[in-house]
Structure 1
Amino acid sequence: MKKGSQMISRIKAIVVVLMALPLALSACSTRPITDEARAHQIVQGAQLAVQKFKASNEQPMDEFRAMLPKAQGILIMPGVIKGGFILAAEGGSGVLLAKNGNGEWGQPAFYALAAGSVGLQAGAQVGDAILLIFSQDAVRAVIDHQGKLGADLGLIIGTIGAGVEASTTTNAGADILVFSQGVGAFAGGSLEAAALIKRNDLNKAYYGEMLTPTDIVLGGRAQNPAADGLRKVLNGQ
């Protein structure tokens, strides 16, 4: 238990660094971006990522197009960062959505995703990752277990995507399928140690009130017309 707590603490520290990095790089020339503007950028990036995956000629994206209508939830991480030297880190911010009772996609809740591992790596890569979630129970498990993903959720995770090494888990009967382009960040068991952390600060900035992912994704209590473009792309319009 102590070892697990230390891992979560380390991953949360990585998230803080990853979220602060863009601000640090731009501080000399521009004003820091507001939470509201950042939230809108993430939603726009998520929409572009889905459009890119749907339009891709790469063979793995044929399966993405086939499986998207079957998904009950989706976690979209545009511009996932992978980099480091001694401590390798993957992370970024994205949105979680789920289908409502009418089978249409609801409003997005904001999350940060980070996975840490020790290794001799250098440089950085940026790409997009999308996690398709195939049951409402799995969606609820993701929401209820902040900081835990993979085996801790009792869910089967499979990996598909260009540039991704072979997954260590079979994709048959997977509760979650991970698709990626441009980054090999989620191969094999890397998601087993990943932390999925609620961004309630961005939820508040985007919706103008303090709402939890449960309120937004499962309760249908949120509304922002700025997310309509993303929802239409997911709904196939």
Structure 2
Amino acid sequence: MITRRQVFPIAAALGLAATTGLPIDAARADSGPQAVVDHALGTLQDLRHDKEFGNALQLISRAHAILIAPQIFKAGFFFGGEGGRAVLMARGINGSWSNPAFYTVASGSFGLQIGAQESEMIMFIMSERALHALMANKFEIGANAGIAVATLGSTVAGATTTNAGADIIVWASSSGVYAGISLAGTLVQPNGDMNSSYYGRPLTSGEIVLERLAHNPAAAPLVHSLDVL
């Protein structure tokens, strides 16, 4: 597992990609889809014990789905960018959770930025329309008409009341030199290549999390962790 102490050399490489105009691919800093699943499991375990998550367990009990981006790397030397991988899991009619579908999280910015940062993000999908919006080719936070997104800081205390009408509630935390994570304009896209790699055949996000046509035993600890929350 990549620790926060290892973020700076990784983020420096991402910063180089940003300055050269190349696409930022944070997944290259990791070892593949199983690593994303394992990191997501670590985030859920933190959810049980870290007081900064506040009453997030109450959000999960009401959520239709959850998207976990356990490692979003940001680096910049005048140019900046963010990139990472995520998994989306949906709750079924019987309350059980699906196997994970893989997503890419990416955004870019320009400005006087010097530093490096690792962030983690959890999106609580609170409505069916928000879940179906994530099935599309691209979902841009803050740009989809009719989808209300509430962004929380280092705590989700009171989220179940103050953000009761939100379609998506986003919790994010950051470490490093940057003061915080900016989610405006962030694109969340299905990653078909990682889905194919993990399940051995081409599958859409909908086929995985809604139709439940995919199963990988290696995802069982992550699925179980959600089932018992």
| TM-score bucket (shorter structure) | 0.7 to 0.9
- Aligned length in residues: 202
Contact 1:157-1:174 at 8 Å conserved across structures: yes
Post-superposition Cα deviations, 1:169-202, rounded to whole Å, max 9, x if no partner, equal x73411111112334214xxx33x1111221111
Is 1:130–2:108 an aligned residue pair? no
Q: How far off its partner does 1:48 sit?
A: 0.4
Shift of 1:15: 8.8
Structure 1 regions of 5+ residues with no counterpart? 1-10, 24-32, 165-169
TM-superposition CA deviations, 1:13-51 (whole Å, max 9, x none): 98942336527xxxxxxxxx4xxxx10000000010111
Summarize the Cα distance change of 1:140–1:48 in structure 2 as closer, same or farther, 3 Å threshold: same
Instruction: Find out whether 1:74 has 2:66 as its counterpart.
Output: yes
Deviation of 1:149 after TM superposition, in Å, equals 3.2
Quote the residue 1:22 is aligned against. 29
Q: Per the alignment, in what secondary structure is the counterpart of residue 120 of structure 1?
A: strand
Cα distance in 1, alignment partners of residues 22 and 62 from structure 2: 31
Segment of structure 1 superposing worse, 152-161 or 89-98: 152-161
Contact 1:142–1:153 under 8 Å retained in 2? no
What RMSD over aligned residues (CA atoms) do the two structures have, in Å?
A: 2.5
Give matches, 1:54-133, under 5 Å.
54-58=48-52, 61-133=53-125
Structure 2 counterpart SS, 1:219:
coil
2:113 aligned counterpart, secondary structure = coil
Contact 1:86 1:118 in 2 (8 A): yes
Describe the shift of the 1:14–1:228 C-alpha distance in structure 2 as closer, same or farther (beyond 3 A): farther
Look up the equivalent residue of 2:24 and give its one-letter code: V
Please give the TM-score of this superposition, normalised by the length of structure 1.
0.77
Give the 4+ runs in structure 1 shifted more than 4 A: none
Q: Percent identity?
A: 36
Of Structure 1 and Structure 2, the greater helix share is in 1
Secondary structure of 1:181's match? strand
Query: What 5-or-longer segments of structure 2 have no aligned partner?
Result: 1-17, 157-161
Q: In structure 2, give the amino acid aligned to 1:107.
A: N
TM-score (norm 2): 0.79
